[in-house]
Amino acid sequence: MLIDSHAHLDMPEFNKDRSEVIQRAHQSGINYMITVGIDVESCRCAIALSEEFESVYAIVGIHPHNAKNIDNDTYDILKKLTRHDKVCALGEIGLDFFRNLSPREVQKKRFRELIDLAREEKLPIVVHDRDAHQETLSILKEGKADEIGGVIHCFSGDYRMASHCITMGFYISIPGTITFHNALGLQEVVRHIPLERILIETDCPFLAPVPFRGKRNEPSYVKYVAEKIAQLKGLDFNEVAQVTSRNAKAVFKIPT
């Protein structure tokens, strides 16, 4: 059993074969997929998919790229969406100082506000952090995010950052990039952090693992992430599958 803890199944790359993609995931031993919103429209789509497919859960939030589009109504809408039975976290939220599609100060302000909303709704958060490691850690600490915990999605920091996040009650989510030959830093992090704090994800349709690098990613490929983690840690694949699935169920409160 595996769980793809972070997918974007609503994206147009899946419009022609979404049902087939989900069926392939089931056939590959993926019991659950968690599809993640990046704006209000995609959050609604994520919830609709969770209603259509029993194996799909939803996460709702505003991606830092879209932080500039948040208005007075956004938080009221999000608050209502979080109360859906199959919404299991608030995300993905955070900072992206690589592309800077929203101004940095706007991103930081909205990140703080979204953490406050998650604390109010008693939901874990799923954090996007790209080229903003120190700022992300600072805001998580200031916002008392340790009270709700969550996931650092598509982790790209070093072991020191991973340790800080784990101390705050966060899980470290590992994407398909772990299979890339040049991902030496991420591989070193995986070797040293406990399996009990690791999730696996595709972030599909992005970041397809080897041997599919450069092609569309999909949930069935999350097994390559689990295989690489097993190799790096000298563990049996089944143990990695079992523990990472248990971790995902714990943080997202998926019924066992």
For residue 14, give both structure tokens.
Answer: 């899946």
pLDDT given at position 135? 98
Average pLDDT estimate for 141-155: 98
Nearest to 30 by CA among 222, 242, 217, 200: 222
- Asked if 55 contacts 27 with a C-beta cutoff of 8 angstroms, the reply is no
Helix, strand or coil for residue 100?
Answer: coil
- The domain that contains 205 carries what CATH number? 3.20.20.140
Radius of gyration of the chain (CA): 17
Average pLDDT estimate for 186-211: 98
Domain range enclosing 75: 2-252
How many domains in the chain? 1
Kindly indicate the confidence band of residue 168, based on its pLDDT and cuts at 50, 70 and 90.
very high
pLDDT given at position 58? 98
Q: How many Cα atoms sit within 13 Å of 44 on the Cβ side?
A: 4
**Mean pLDDT over the full length of the chain:** 98
pLDDT given at position 129? 98
Nearest to 34 by CA among 247, 179, 248, 244: 248
C-alpha span between 254 and 61 (Å, rounded): 19
| Parallel, antiparallel or unpaired: strands 170-174 and 2-7 | unpaired
Kindly indicate the confidence band of residue 72, based on its pLDDT and cuts at 50, 70 and 90.
confident
pLDDT > 70 fraction of the chain, expressed in percent and rounded: 100
pLDDT given at position 254? 96
pTM for the whole structure: 0.97
Task: Compute the Cα dihedral for 112, 114, 120, 125 and give only its sign.
Answer: negative
Helix, strand or coil for residue 48?
Answer: helix
Average pLDDT estimate for 217-234: 98
Nearest to 166 by CA among 184, 145, 135: 145
